[in-house]
Structure 1
Amino acid sequence: MTPADLSRTVLHAVHRAVAENALRAPVPARVRVERTRPGGSGDYACAVALQLAGDAGLPALEVARILRERVAAEPGIGRVEITGPGFLSFTLDAPGDSDRAVLDAVREQGSAYGHGGALRDEVLQFHHAREVRAAVTADAVRRLVVSQGARVRISCEEAGEMGAAAGEAEWVLLGVTVDAYGAPPVTSPAGPSAPLVPVRPVPAGATARELLERLGPDATRWGLLRPASHDRALLGDELLVQGEANPLFLVRYAYARTRALTRGAAALGFTPATDAAPYESPARPLLDLLADHPRVLLTAARHRAPDRVARQLEAVAHAFFDFHDSCPPLPSGDEKPSAAHRSRLALAEAAGTVLAGGLSLLGISAPAHL
């Protein structure tokens, strides 16, 4: 990463922080980075947090923390520290180190890759109508914000006609749970409650029972969660099509394919390795998406937007198949497994882990065979 690349990366982090309402300040035209002075920390330093603090109405240290959160996982950056009154100090990775670090993190963290503690100080209480899309959306948002450290309680406006248990049996089949019915009190003997956060997507236009009978739980959840909450959910039979035109099938098929590659490699007697060989250029889009995955999850949690996770999984699936077709992880014919195959297999397995973890956050299963 060159100084110009680093400057653009930090500027992009400022844009994201402003777009996500984490910062309220004008975005500068450019961000200046300089070589760290002797005795300083890291390779480069930047004073952008001090520059933005006044307009943002925040201490420079808090602005630096917000930006560090958005820069630290970027490819090419090994470490970001906050020094002095709010300087950002960057230590850059050697070429290839950042890719290996991402893949090693996915391997170590498994389906929890991208989870974090950025929302650990938040206590949230979601409230929704007795309607299937609202219930499924609230459940998915709970999974997302909990993955970022928040504590959550969900309440529903009213129980079903047959009572809280029997009346919502279909919701249970969809993986939905409700903690309470009716609007909870603002205060309790234990003190004030968390304020209600309404969850109000465009209604599905069908009942949970109708959707389950026609689509089953996985396709129902995908159909309800894939569109943004202000858009109408598309719940037709196309959700059941076994073809790549169906995004749900594409994502699950990509995951199943990564599992098949692992089985195939085991049969050939070789295992993945993140440092076996450099990655070819067709791998770059997939590597970048995996590196960006923690930011996508945090943004989706902050915006209460599970549709962002669904779109991320679609992008990962497309990038995986492009990579797979250009750089096959398994040898063909009489070809012997090489270092390149071991590296490719490591990337394929990481893609599968991210796909499975993302589907889990949406409450959707990831079959190893399709």
Structure 2
Amino acid sequence: MTPVELSRTVLCAVRRAVDAGELSVAVPGRVVVTPPGPGGCGDYATNVALQLAGPAGQPPARVAEILVPLLAECAGVEDVVVTGPGFLNISLSSASSPTATLVGEIRRLGAGYGHGDALAGQVVALRVPYDVRAEVVADAVVRIVATQGGRGEVEHGEPVSLRPVPAPEDPAPLGPDAAQWALLHPAAHDRPRITADHLVQRESNPLFRVRYAHARVRAVGRGAGRLGFGAVPGDVPDAPGGLVTALADYPRILTGAAIHRAPDRLARHLVTVADAALPFLPTVLPRGDEKPSAAHRARFALAEAAGTVLAGGLSLLGIDAPDHL
């Protein structure tokens, strides 16, 4: 629930109190909700009881008492506490949106998110030539097939069933992670580029963007820890739609990569997740004098979900997911 939506919810509670005869006031045009001040609690606070006390001819604490049960039964509100002379402190429910449901599922399954039974009980025979790229692709396919309940078996000899276009030169000088990416990111029918571009630490390098996005998620987690708040799945109205869609689409991509023996599909999808996550991550932590709120906890949970998908996908490709980069 956004602050605007919560403001409307509070106004609705005031209107119900007026309609029931518990308050005799004109319903205000707007109600301000803000992060709780000193001595407050919950996600948001409002001084509406103090605002209405004079016109209602009742003490602020009494106005607050009238509004508490009306607010507490509203959808999306988990708890309401009165502090000070009559401030209403509101805690929001975290399990009320599709985004919260998706993030909750990713948090629950962890590295197992996206795993399924599309190939349950099947033995996938991979006959490959004696070629370094074929070996690397087959190795990744075995891991990906296992996520869908299948078992991959690699053999050499004719007739081959998996023959990606060979690399033009030995990728080993790139190092293990960049070499894996150079061989797995292109589709099997494309010739891989074995160049130092895979080592460049800038946005033009897809591997860098994927690993950097994961490292940034971990950095956000360290920052949240220092500020004393954790991740709680919830509604994230300002979340990039592309990020939520990419996370929700991960199981389908993983299944397709397994069925079609195509780790390149997974590699390209990780780039999609990273490109959607990177612009979002700077919004997760509070800025300036902001206090951690339900919105920050929900954003943090979404960021962690992106990190989980990036780490899981990189692991299946045989590539390290660094905490620092």
- If the length of structure 2 is used for normalisation, what is the TM-score? 0.68
Shift of 1:230: 0.1
**Which residue of the other structure, out of 298, 303, 311, is the alignment partner of 2:260?**
303
Q: Which amino acid aligns with 1:253?
A: Y
Q: CA RMSD in A?
A: 1.5
2:270 alignment partner, one of 301, 310, 313: 313
2:241 to 270, 284, 288: 284
- In the aligned structure 2, how far is the partner of 1:107 from the partner of 1:308? 23
Other-structure match for 2:187? 228
Amino acid at match of 2:222: R
The answer to whether the Cα contact below 8 Å between 1:282 and 1:322 also exists between their aligned partners in 2 is no
State the AA in 1 paired with 2:100. R
Q: TM-score, normalised by structure 1?
A: 0.60
Question: Are 1:124 and 1:197, in contact at CA under 8 Å, matched by a contact in 2?
Answer: no
2:224 to 265, 276, 281: 265
1: distance between equivalents of 2:227 and 2:160?
53
Aligned position for 2:164: 201
Tell me the amino acid that sits aligned with residue 268 of structure 1. L
Whether the aligned pair in 2 keeps the contact of 1:115 and 1:294 (CA below 8 Å) is yes
Q: Is the 8 A contact 1:289 1:316 kept in 2?
A: yes
* 2:299 aligned with 1:344: yes
Letter of the aligned partner of 1:101 in structure 2? T
Separation (CA, whole Å) in 2 of partners of 1:197 and 1:99? 44
Equivalent position SS for 2:161: strand
The 8 Å contact of residues 125 and 197 in structure 1, kept in 2 or not, is answered as no
* Distance of aligned partners of 1:119 and 1:267 in 2 relative to their CA distance in 1, 3 Å threshold: same
Task: Tell me which stretches of 4 or more aligned residues in structure 1 moved more than 4 Å.
Answer: none
Separation in 2, partners of 1:313, 1:104: 20
- Identify unmatched segments of 5+ residues in structure 1: 1-94, 158-182, 184-195
Match of residue 290, structure 2, among 321, 335, 346: 335
1:60-98 CA distance string (max 9 Å, x none): xxxxxxxxxxxxxxxxxxxxxxxxxxxxxxxxxxx9532
SS at match of 1:198: coil
Amino acid aligned to 1:200: R
- Contact kept in structure 2, 1:316 and 1:355, CA below 8 Å: yes
Give the residue type in structure 2 aligned to 1:310: A
Counterpart in the other structure of 2:233 = 274
Q: Structure 2 unaligned segments of length 5 or more: list them.
A: 1-94
- Cα distance in 1, alignment partners of residues 290 and 166 from structure 2: 54
Distance in 2 (CA, whole Å) between partners of 1:198 and 1:113 is: 29
Bigger Rg, structure 1 or 2: 2
Partner of 1:89: none
CA distance, structure 2, for counterparts of residue 299 and residue 315 of structure 1: 16
* Count of aligned pairs: 231
Structure 2 residue aligned with 1:353: 308
Q: CA deviation at 1:324?
A: 2.4
Q: Is the 8 A contact 2:136 2:183 kept in 1?
A: yes
1:156 is displaced (CA, Å) by 2.4
Question: Aligned equivalents of 2:113 and 2:255: distance in 1?
Answer: 12
Tell me, what secondary structure is at the counterpart of 1:124? strand
CA–CA distance in structure 2, aligned partners of residues 333 and 281 of structure 1 = 19
1:124 corresponds to: 124
Is 1:363 paired with 2:318? yes
